[in-house]
Amino acid sequence: MAFAKDLNLDATELRLGLPGTSDESAKNQTPATLRSNNKRALPEESMSSNATASKNCNQETAPLPKAQVIGWPPIRSYRKNNLQPKKSEGEISGIYVKVSMDGAPYLRKIDLKVFKGYPELLKALEDMFKFKAGEYSEREGYNGSEFVPTYEDKDGDWMLVGDVPWEMFTNSCKKLRIMKGSEARGLGCVV
Amino acid sequence: MQKKTAYSFPDEILEHVFSFIQSDKDRNAASVVCKSWYEIERWCRRKVFVGNCYAVSPTMVIRRFPDIRSIELKGKPHFADFNLVPDGWGGYVLPWISKMAGAYPWLEEIRLKRMVVTDESLELVAKSFTNLQVLVLFSCEGFSTDGLAAIAAGCKNLRELDLRDSEVDDLSGHWLNHFPDTYTSLVSLNISCLGSDDVSFSALERLVGRCPNLRRLLLNREVPLDKIANLLSRAPQLIEFGTGTYAAELRSDVYSNLVEAFCNCKELKSLSGFWDAVPAYLPVIYSVCSRLTSLNLSYAPIQNPDLTKLVSQCPSLQRMLVLDYIEDSGLEVLASSCKDLQELRVFPSDPFGEEPNVSLTEKGLVAVSSGCPKLQSVLYFCRQMSNAALVTIAQNCPNFTRFRLCLLDPKIADYRTLQPLDVGFGAIVEHCKDLRRLSLSGLLTDCVFEYIGMHAKKLEMLSVAFAGESDLALHHVLSGCESLRKLEIMNCPFGDKALLANAAKLETMRSLWMSSCSVSLGACKMLGQKMPRLNIEVMDEKGPPDSRAESDPVDKLYIYRSVAGPRFDMPPFVWTMDEDFASELS
């Protein structure tokens, strides 16, 4: 769970359990809807994300593992990053992007590499900032929600999270911003 | 009768005398002898160190010291290194650069640590300080390679560019091309933190080739191993070298080129880098090993026996940084081979693993403490410790100046007796009378703090986590440690009483950091009212302090002395408790 500390789990009381466990049952709908969309996460992908989630679920009842305490052990981020081996020449060890939300005081950083697709990412964002993204559709963007996840790509354009295939997204995303719904109209909409 | 002045010789003589006084402490002492010494001294001071950029304003510095050539500024508190200081907290250098641009056109050296540096600031630096020779950005962030391009293009007299541990937005490696072809004065270049694959290697080669005085070159991970030989052959005069990635397929031509290249570097004393190192290529540096005084293998996943074999070939080592792959056995070899060792840092290879992955225990540190009489500075991450071991270490090394022990389980007891580690750390402070820096860990009660207050009279910096039981702990430290300048505390169950009882002490220190402790909002407000020359900064994500009860503990607290008053560049989650705080809200 090396990425756990990057999500600042301790501060946000995040639990990486299966959807439907503990108090997560209310949030079931959103991830399920996203998973059913062919365009993004394939069913196999979300299956494997469940597999890792179930491993974490076992730790839920145990006391918080030491890894989740922010600031301990006192090792600087670049050292933690360098412990990961470089698998191949082209691969970077982690894709850390800053995440901000309109109205929330703290910025966070997350590693996009640890997510296998949009459902996982969105769930993590929802848990981190305690909001609901609403239902995503290609035509209408995120419906039924006050907050909309957006990102700035390499060209400096602001896009809706979910509009491009996952790999393209992780390669081009420079930072994430969870915008107030009203501001996000007109972003990446097809119509 | 003519009144005789105290000094009947010209100011220039005093100035000349002062020019031999380099240390800030001594200069400060001289400046308070009398008004005329104050005046003379301030006109001829050339170097300023500002340990907390918010303790004083740039205007004040410029007003007192009109002709500075070298400035060092520090921004965020140390715990920012471990992600405890939220993004946007502060530490911006631009206001300083803007003011100094006009006041110090002859500025030669800028050294910044934990500050937010923007491309705009760097462009302003390049434009305003044509004589800039040294730029050190230590653990800074907020800038990109565009800013570096401006420095490269504009600072024709640059000797030293050091970006150590900074977070740089690596847009393109082509910033190196901005050093003009006529530029030949580079002496020291540290780009080890740069991330992108896009290092303009040819530009780097040309730069290295045309700078005959280059003595220090620290590359980034992206520079492949097969390019190193060529680079070294252009700079055989290097004293300090940091490789890039140290992994490659074993090829005899690459291997022999490297052997030859390292062999030709007759003055090489310090090596680092070694990312992803594979054992096959380690022997290429054997010709250098006997001369090495500093070796940083803390990014190298090399294990024993290769690791120990390498270390055993470096008898002149004074400084050793390594991962815990060295294990107790390797440290025993280090202890018997490296009698000049002064500094040892052992980092964890698997800090978040539940079970130990290597056999590194307290025994390794005991061995080094016993075998290396000059050992002064230790940073040691491990999983078990005993009071007995700490007592032995303390007795072996009374000359310790820095001792930082980090037990991966922060509240772990003495593994042999299951007692707290109070006695062990007590022995450290009792025997090591020159100890300036100490980091504690493990199961610790108020007792250890009593020992610290009693014995650690030279202690300047103390780091505490998950320790102590009551306010007495903090009180012992604040009332006993006469030399204390920086105190940083996380996750300890104390606060109010000790802080309020020792409020005056806080003005004698640079700063105090407390996070996840038991300091109430009410106590912070009281301190703010009582101590106008302290900035009491409360950080809380949950919302403004006025929305909560006085008895609520604050999330993070940063207190520092300042003659500049409260700052105005605070983000929305930081509040200053000053005298006006209460009235501002009503």
Which of A79, A98, A107 has its CB closest to that of B347? Answer: A79
Q: Do B79 and A71 touch (CB under 8 A)?
A: yes
A82 or B375, greater pLDDT: B375
B contacts of A86 (beta carbons < 8 Å): 221, 245, 247, 275-276
Cα torsion B18, B22, B23, B27 to 10°: value is 20
A82 vs B: CB within 8 A: yes
Q: Which of B265, B271, B225, B214 is nearest to B248 (CA)?
A: B225
Torsion of CA A163, A168, A170, A171, to 10 degrees: -140
Distance CA(B575)–CA(B557), nearest Å, equals: 10
What is the pLDDT at residue A187? 62
What is residue B354's DSSP assignment? S
A63 in contact with B, Cβ within 8 Å = no
Task: Give the pLDDT confidence score for residue A33 in this predicted structure.
Answer: 36
Tens digit of pLDDT for each residue in B405-460? Answer: 999 999 999 999 999 999 999 999 999 999 999 999 999 999 999 999 999 999 99
pLDDT tens per residue across span B501-533? 999 999 999 999 999 999 999 999 999 999 999
Q: What is the DSSP letter of B68?
A: -
Please give the angle made by the CA atoms of B222, B352 and A97, to the nearest 5 degrees: 50
Q: Which of B122, B117, B110 is nearest to B50 (CA)?
A: B110
Residue A66 forms contact with B (CB below 8 Å): yes
Cβ proximity of B39 and B544 under 8 Å: no
For chain B, the C-alpha Rg in angstroms (whole number) is 26
B371: Cβ–Cβ under 8 A, 6 or more apart, which residues?
Answer: B332, B334, B335, B336, B339
- Nearest-neighbour CA in chain B from A156: distance (Å): 13
Amino acid identity for residue A5 in this structure: K
B515 contacts A107? CB cut-off 8 A: no
Report whether the peptide linkage leading into residue A63 is cis, meaning its omega lies within 30 degrees of zero. Answer: no
Tokens 């977070």 locate to B167
For residue A100, the model assigns a pLDDT of 84
Contact assignment for B541 to A85 by CB distance below 8 Å = no
pLDDT, tens digit, 9 for 90 and up, residues B269-327: 999 999 999 999 999 999 999 999 999 999 999 999 999 999 999 999 999 999 999 99
ipTM reported for the complex, 2 dp: 0.86
Distance from CA of A152 to the nearest CA of B (A): 15
The CA distance from B66 to B244, in Å, is: 43
The continuous run of DSSP H or E covering A41 comes out as none
d(CA A146, CA A131): 8
B232 is written with which tokens? Answer: 């070294």
Per residue of chain A (191 residues), give pLDDT as tens: 444 444 444 444 444 444 444 443 333 333 333 333 333 333 333 333 333 333 333 333 334 444 457 788 999 888 887 776 554 444 445 677 888 888 776 677 788 888 888 888 888 888 877 777 777 777 667 776 778 888 988 888 888 888 889 988 988 888 888 888 777 666 654 33
pLDDT digits (tens, 9 = 90+) for B35-85: 999 999 999 999 999 999 999 999 999 999 999 999 999 999 999 999 999
Q: What is the three-class DSSP state of B117? A: coil
Please give the Cα distance from A126 to B49 (Å, whole number).
44
Query: CA-nearest residue of chain A to B490?
Result: A71
CB nearest to B275's CB, from A66, A74, A82: A82
Q: State whether residue A92 sits within 8 Å of chain B by CB.
A: yes
Contact A74 B349 (CB under 8 A): no
Q: Domain-by-domain residue ranges, chain A?
A: 96-185
Question: What is the secondary structure of B170-195 as a DSSP string?
Answer: ---BGGGGGS-TT-----EEE-TT--
d(C-alpha B67, C-alpha B63), whole Å: 10
Q: B424 CB contacts (<8 Å, ≥6 apart)?
A: B385, B386, B387, B388, B389, B390, B391, B394, B414
pLDDT at residue B128 above 90? yes
For residue A71, the model assigns a pLDDT of 85
Q: What is the mean pLDDT of chain B?
A: 94
Q: Which CATH number fits domain A96-185: 3.40.50.280, 3.10.20.90, 2.60.40.10, 3.40.50.720?
A: 3.10.20.90
A73 touches chain B (CB under 8 A): yes
3-state helix, strand, coil in chain B (%, to 5): 35, 20, 45
CA distance A64 to chain B (A): 12
